[in-house]
Structure 1
Amino acid sequence: MRLFDKRTPLQKEWEKLEVQEQRFLQKRSEKRENILNQKLEEKIPPKLQETLDTAFAKAFALIFEKGTRVIEKTYQRAKLEQDYQVRQYTADVKQNSKSLRSFSKKARDTGTKNLLLSGVAGIGMGVLGIGLPDIPVFTGMILKNIYETALQYGYSYETREEKYFILLLIRGAVSYGDTLCEIDGKVNEFIRNGMLPEEYQDKEQIEQTAGSLSKELLYMKFLQGIPVVGAVGGAYDAVYMKRITEYAELKYRHRYLAGRKKAENKLLF
Structure 2
Amino acid sequence: MSSYEEKIAHELAEWQVTMQRTPSISNAAIRKLQTKINSLWPERLHRIMTKVIKELTRAVLFGADFTTKPNTDVRSLMDIEEQVKDKINKYTSTATAEGAITGFGGFVSGLADFPLWLSIKMKMLFDIAASYGIDTKDYKERLFILYVFQLAFSSQKRRNEIYLILSNWEVQKNKLPKDINAFDWRSFQQEYRDHLDLAKLLQLIPGVGAVVGAYINHKLTNRLGKTAMNAYRLRRLNVQDFDLEKLKKGQPKLPE
Which bracket does the TM-score occupy, shorter chain normalised? 0.7 to 0.9
**1:83-162 alignment, distance < 5 Å:** 84-86=71-73, 88=74, 90=75, 99-129=76-106, 130-162=109-141
In the alignment, structure 1 residue 70 sits paired with structure 2 residue 65: yes
- Percent identity of paired positions between Structure 1 and Structure 2: 20
Q: Which amino acid aligns with 1:241?
A: T
**Structure 2 length as normaliser, TM-score?**
0.73
CA distance in 1 between counterparts of 2:65 and 2:79 reads: 28
**1:1-269 alignment, distance < 5 Å:** 9=3, 12=6, 15-22=9-16, 24-25=18-19, 29-30=23-24, 50=46, 53-65=50-62, 67=63, 69-71=64-66, 77=68, 81=70, 84-86=71-73, 88=74, 90=75, 99-129=76-106, 130-190=109-169, 192-193=170-171, 195-199=173-177, 201-203=179-181, 204-235=183-214, 236-258=216-238
Partner of 1:263: none
After superposition, the Cα gap between the structure-2 partners of 1:62 and 1:113, relative to the gap in structure 1 and judged at 3 Å, is: same
Structure 1 gaps of 5+ residues are 1-6, 91-98, 260-269
CA distance in 1 between counterparts of 2:222 and 2:89 reads: 8
Q: How many residues are aligned here?
A: 224
Q: Which amino acid aligns with 1:202?
A: I
Partner of 2:252: none
CA distance in 1 between counterparts of 2:211 and 2:49 reads: 18
Shift of residue 206, structure 1, vs aligned partner:
3.8
Shift of residue 223, structure 1, vs aligned partner:
2.2
**Structure 1 length as normaliser, TM-score?**
0.70
Q: Over aligned residue pairs, what C-alpha RMSD do you find?
A: 3.3
Runs of at least 4 residues off by over 6 Å: none
